[in-house]
A and B are shown apart, each in its own frame.
Chain A
């Protein structure tokens, strides 16, 4: 089906089910229970899962396949956001032209940056992409203020032209983003007993686009083109000696992943029509690297998992504060309670970044394959199959 088969098809189906049923899956705790704060089934957060999933899937096409570590991918996300908001300002509030433009603009941007940066490899490539991203960030903050609105960020206003739409909505406010009249922020709620599930149009648009992106990424992974990219990762010199020019391939990968980032940026703007320069900062680029690594670079599902994992815990950890901690550890003797709370405090609330950094270090050190590798290891443990047995099985296959 769809030109993919076997495991890949299963994987796509799993992602599809997960994405479409996310409002149920992420809302396992009843509203009134104390665990309700661990629910993640509200549209705003789910959209972020999916959008950053797209971003990471795109990044993985570059980093996972070719091994080129770009430290400037957030620039494409930012450019995508800006172009989408401009489309909302000038054309109409329909998200389709906005998303298309953001993908195209980000692609062009990636073409220029990639053309220059890909002349070098290794750390030089990382530094070059970083330099370009920082340049875009600095320019967005200073000289390009007419286009980017500097520090305030680009926002919609009542006197925007919007040629194919209305400048002012019927109620006198700024019109909201929509897909042919279907408002993005419209949410319907389904109450089942103590549970309430929210379905938002915006989320489902993002989810569908995630599925499309994921499908494309599977096709790229399994194509001869993907194989070529892997060859670049394993030994570029050898490829060059066989008379192959690798640059068109790496450039194509760079542009594709830039377009993914642009799509993510366009979606971010479609859900919430504003764009700020801080989306292009290099810490944002670091974040997507993190998601990919954490999930498992070079695997299909890894980046999606990583993005979901990081965004989920970012949300949950940021919500926990002193009082919650004291509630949790209330059963301990007082001195111990205070000590435990003091210690835990570092990692929650605004300390989320600390947790993130630590997690990052631990994953890179002990689990370079990310969550996917962790999952395989656990699976192997459960099945009781040791590494050696697997090796034996692999060896016993007849050599051609």
Chain B
């Protein structure tokens, strides 16, 4: 029981990341009909927004200590971050500590702009081209973005810690009346899950309860008719692309403390997210979310020692295996609609 609960919890944070990326992918696919292989790169850029904010906040003024010397005999350097100088040491330290959540505020406008520029500058020209061309051009774009990040941030992982408050773990078992120290779960992962739930809820609410969302949904169902009604649907779809990029970016920002970002984190997630989208059903938003969590939890179950000793290596391939089985038995995925991507 404890073991099962633990694995479900472990699956939640990865599942949240999959769900968020897959949600964005599906939004883009459902609205614009474009298969975006650069979506993982957007996730990565989000993660590097967190890195950038952290780096900027910890930019330090170096002063020399008048008395102490370091081991080489030079005067000891004291680094004081500029923010501490400007806002006072306490508030400055708090700012640095909270750099990852702060990065979200920074990431949202950036990702929106990147998304809109990407759509207007590149993707727009590919609506009428075959899906293979769309895959290829966005694949090229993903390489470019990844290499740019590698050029400026290096190839190593960059640690971006979560705020102090969320460090440490939460004893889930004790709360549920089980033995303490059995089901332990890091706070930040809990935060990540909650965050993902809020974002997913917000996206659905936006589509369901606003006029804008209603028009977008109508456009997803029948773009031509909506256009004939005198609505500039292209503009709205562009905004949806920006929104999808922002969702991927925020997923990246918040994921940075869980897994220190490096330049190929996006590609690693992209392949899996595509599998998630296909399993959920191309073009189905609830399907993407459901499949994201499902596959995340499945993956963490497969990495249990009991199961690994039963079928060695299953943890490495479970997602792909599940995808293959689902695609062969339910060709449209779990919740795919008829008529989407059938050609």
Contacts and interface: CB of A to CB of B under 8 A. Distances in A.
Interface of A: 67, 69, 116, 119-120, 122-124, 126-128, 130-132, 134-135, 138-139, 141-144, 282-283, 286, 289, 293, 346, 351, 353-354, 356-361, 364-365, 368
A365 B141 CA distance: 11
A131 B144 CA distance: 23
Contacts of A132: 320, 324
Contacts of B317: 135, 138-139
B140 A119 contact: no
Interface stretch (B14-22, B125-133, B176-184): B125-133
Given A139-B316, A365-B125, A357 B143 contact: yes
B75 interface: no
Contacts of B133: 364, 368
B343 interface: yes
A119 B331 CA distance: 9
B298 interface: no
A268 to B, nearest CB: 23
Contacts of B274: 127, 130
B270 to A, nearest CB: 10
B53 interface: no
A289 B125 CA distance: 21
Contact of B140 (A124, A139, A283, A357): A357
Given A127-B278, A143-B316, A359-B140, 8 more contacts: A69-B132, A124-B278, A124-B341, A126-B135, A130-B271, A131-B323, A134-B271, A354-B143
B139 interface: yes
A123 B341 CA distance: 8
B324 A361 contact: no
Contacts of A358: 140, 144
Interface footprint category on B = 35 or more
Given A123-B35, A127-B274, A135 B137 contact: no
Given A122-B343, A123-B282, A293-B136, A351 B151 contact: yes
B327 A128 contact: yes
A357 B143 CA distance: 5
A286 B138 CA distance: 12
B328 A135 contact: no
A361 B140 contact: yes
Contacts of A286: 139
Nearest to B324: A131
Nearest to B333: A124
B275 interface: yes
A141 B316 contact: yes
A120 B331 contact: yes
Contacts of B139: 286, 360
B143 to A, nearest CB: 3
24 contacts: A69-B132, A69-B135, A122-B131, A122-B343, A123-B135, A123-B278, A127-B278, A130-B275, A131-B320, A134-B271, A135-B320, A144-B313, A293-B136, A353-B146, A354-B143, A354-B147, A354-B151, A357-B142, A357-B144, A357-B147, A358-B144, A361-B137, A364-B136, A368-B129
Contacts of A346: 148, 151
A289 B139 CA distance: 11
B312 interface: yes
Interface string B1-37: 0000000000000000000000000000000000100
B22 to A, nearest CB: 12
A120 B313 CA distance: 27
Interface of B: 35, 122, 125, 129, 131-133, 135-137, 139-144, 146-148, 151, 267, 271, 274-275, 278, 282, 312-313, 316-317, 320-321, 323-324, 327-328, 331, 341, 343
A124 to B, nearest CB: 6
B320 A134 contact: yes
A315 B331 CA distance: 43
Given A131-B320, A143-B316, A358-B144, A364 B137 contact: yes
A131 B147 CA distance: 24
A143 B316 CA distance: 9
Contacts of B142: 357
B147 A351 contact: yes
A219 B148 CA distance: 43
B324 A116 contact: yes
A120 to B, nearest CB: 6
A353 B267 CA distance: 14
A337 B325 CA distance: 58
B141 A357 contact: yes
A202 to B, nearest CB: 31
B322 to A, nearest CB: 9
A387 B136 CA distance: 28
A356 B294 CA distance: 36
8 A-B pairs with least C-beta separation? A143-B313, A357-B143, A360-B140, A138-B316, A354-B147, A361-B140, A357-B144, A131-B320
A103 to B, nearest CB: 25
Contact of A67 (B132, B137, B140, B321): B132
B29 to A, nearest CB: 9
Nearest to B125: A365
A122 B332 CA distance: 13
A238 to B, nearest CB: 12
B320 A289 contact: no
B313 A142 contact: yes
Contacts of B321: 135
A282 B323 CA distance: 17
B144 A354 contact: yes
Contacts of A135: 316-317, 320-321
Contacts of A120: 327, 331
Contacts of A282: 271
Contact of B137 (A123, A124, A131, A365): A365
A27 B191 CA distance: 61
Contacts of A128: 323-324, 327
A124 B125 CA distance: 23
B148 to A, nearest CB: 7
A143 B320 CA distance: 16
Nearest to B317: A135
A142 B125 CA distance: 42
Contact of B143 (A116, A143, A356): A356
